Amino acid sequence: MYELNLEINDFLDTYWQKKPTVIKQGFSNFIDPILPDEIAGLAMEEEIESRLVYRDEKDQWQAECGPFESFEKLDSDGATLLIQAVDNWHEDAQQLVRPFRFLPNWRIDDLMISYSTPKGGVGPHIDNYDVFIIQGLGKRHWRVGAQQALSEFAAHGALKHCEHFEAIIDVELEPGDILYIPVGFPHEGYAIEPSMNYSVGFRAPDQNDLLSGFADHSIDTNENAERYGDRVMQQREKTGQIETQELQELHRVMLANCATPEQLIPWLGKMLSEAKHDLDLAPPDIAHTNEQVIDALNEGVQFIRLGGLRAMYFEQNPSLIFINGEQFDFEGCSELGQLLCDQDEVAGELLAHFSDNQQAIDLFTALINKGYWYAL
């Protein structure tokens, strides 16, 4: 269990999305949840996204994508191995995300872990997500600049860098220290000693993500798309002109299916709950029955939400539960659905939701049989 030493309200008021900060000994007596060897093991797996970044003999930046078969580069200085979404694959590492659940689930992206040899780092860059970087093993020197317009360029096909920046934070992180960097602040970190870093990232879609996502959804689902029409047509003098009311009508047609926030719910719920990285899904070989699930709960068994599984609901319509890109109707048992989204693990408290509610137990058993919740 990791306990975060942080005044959450102060942090949210002063720093969250506003300015970077170092949380010295955010985790006291920090113990790495995973070993460098295990990181290398994960980087050998096909379904796991990994990258190796280093500078070659000519001091040129290089980036290779996994899976890897061997790791010679990690025998020398100046190399970093990065693994995406380790929370989907490693239960102990997943524990590191929990202390940050004071922020909403839907904003949490993934836990990225890096192992760097001395001088290793990915170079100066700007991320499009907020991140808490936890120092594990070793020490790393970090510089963070003010939010500013910096030119960005490809240091390598798979590595975007930014130009040099003045540091507003220049710090050596030790095990248990946390560096919070809001979206858009340039930063770079280089290991002083062999180093493990844990990055808990927070995604926020931009306008283009939202518009293109909604457009894709509309193409897939809107078979009878409304078409612009102008039955009331009058002869006009300026045929080269698009009249104001025509522009207004085009605008109306374009936004007719997304004119209110509520209209976005089915699409947004699916999109935000979709996993960006593969999940370690292992549905039970033999489907569980409702009776087995109830017996297990009566015996005190805890059910854990699969690492990286995204489950959420909207305040406006809390009986629609979105899990892993799918919509579930929890009408009549919406409190159960909300509990499953709000808690990482559930146990005997579920029983109260099941009494006299066949639909509730059916739904929960179905989620277990999909491998979304599993017994500890």
Closer of 127 and 280 to ligand SIN (Cβ): 127
Spatial distance between the Cα atoms of 75 and 293, rounded to a whole number of angstroms: 49
Return the number of the residue (93 or 312) whose C-beta is nearest ligand SIN: 93
Choose among Co ion, ligand SIN, none what residue 162 binds, the Cβ cut-off being 5 to 8 Å by kind.
none
Which residues, 6 or more positions from 268, have their beta carbon under 8 angstroms from its beta carbon? 314
- Burial grade of 129 (CB within 10 A; 0-12, 13-18, 19 or more): middle
**Residue 199 contact, options ligand SIN, Co ion, none, Cβ 5-8 Å cut-off depending on partner type:** ligand SIN
- Which of 139, 216, 122 lies closest to 177, judged by CA? 139
Q: Is 50 in the site for ligand SIN (CB under 6 A)?
A: no
Question: With binding defined as CB under 6 A, does residue 135 bind ligand SIN?
Answer: no
The DSSP string of 13-72 is HHTTTT--EEETTSSTT---SS-HHHHHHHTT-TTS-EEEEEE-TTS-EEEEES--S--G
Question: Pick from 50, 84, 94, 197: which binds ligand SIN (CB under 6 A)?
Answer: 197
Q: Which one-letter amino acid corresponds to residue 314?
A: F
Output helix, strand, coil percentages for the chain, rounded to the nearest 5: 30, 25, 45
152 binds Co ion (CB under 5 A): no
Among 199, 273, 334, 365, binds ligand SIN (CB under 6 A): 199
Q: List the one residue out of 207, 334, 340, 219 whose CA is nearest residue 273.
A: 340
Query: From the list 4, 52, 131, 309, which residue makes contact with ligand SIN (rule: CB under 6 A)?
Result: 131
Point out which span in 39-47, 102-110, 120-128, 333-341 binds Co ion (CB under 5 A): 120-128
* Closest to 50 in 3D by CA, of 77, 30, 74: 74
| Residue 197: contacted member of ligand SIN, Co ion, none (CB under 5 to 8 Å, by partner type) | ligand SIN
Q: Closest approach of Cβ 102 to ligand SIN, in Å?
A: 21
DSSP state of 353: H
Residues numbered 261 to 280 that lie near ligand SIN (CB under 6 A) are: none
Q: Which of residues 102-121 bind ligand SIN (CB under 6 A)?
A: 114, 121
Site of interaction with ligand SIN (CB under 6 A): 80, 114, 121-122, 127, 131, 133, 187, 189, 197, 199
